[in-house]
Amino acid sequence: MPIRIDERLTAIANLIHRGAVADIGCDHGKLGYYLVSTDRADKVIATDISAPSLRKASELAFDNGVTEIMETRLGDGLSPIKSEEVDTVVIAGLGGDVIAEILKSARLDAKKSKHFVLSPNTHPEKVRRELKLMKHTIVTDLLTECAGKYYTIISTELKVDYKDDLDDDEILYGKFFRTDKVFLKRSLEEIATMKNILETHQSAELEGKIARLEEVLKKVEK
Q: What's the CATH code of the domain at 35?
A: 3.40.50.150
Same domain? 16 vs 104? yes
DSSP letter at 156 equals: E
Query: pTM of the predicted model, to two decimals?
Result: 0.93
Same domain? 133 vs 190? no
Same domain? 116 vs 203? no
Residue 138 lies in a domain: yes
Q: Return the pLDDT at 111.
A: 62
Residue 1 lies in a domain: no
Same domain? 150 vs 45? yes
Same domain? 132 vs 187? no
Residue type, 128: R
The 10s digit of each residue's pLDDT in 125-162 is 999 999 998 889 999 999 999 999 999 999 998 877 78
Q: What is the mean pLDDT of the chain?
A: 93
The 10s digit of each residue's pLDDT in 3-62 is 899 999 999 999 998 899 999 999 999 999 999 999 999 999 999 999 999 999 999 999
Residue type, 176: F
Q: Quick one: which H or E segment has residue 136?
A: none
Q: How confident is the model at residue 110 (pLDDT cuts 50, 70, 90)?
A: low
Same domain? 211 vs 107? no
Residue 90 lies in a domain: yes
The lowest-confidence range among 85-89, 131-135, 205-209 is 131-135
Q: How far apart are CA 16 and CA 46, in angstroms?
A: 15
Residue 96 lies in a domain: yes
Same domain? 166 vs 187? no
Residue 222 lies in a domain: no
Residue 20 lies in a domain: yes
Q: How many structural domains is the chain composed of?
A: 2
- Residue 194: give the domain boundaries: 183-217
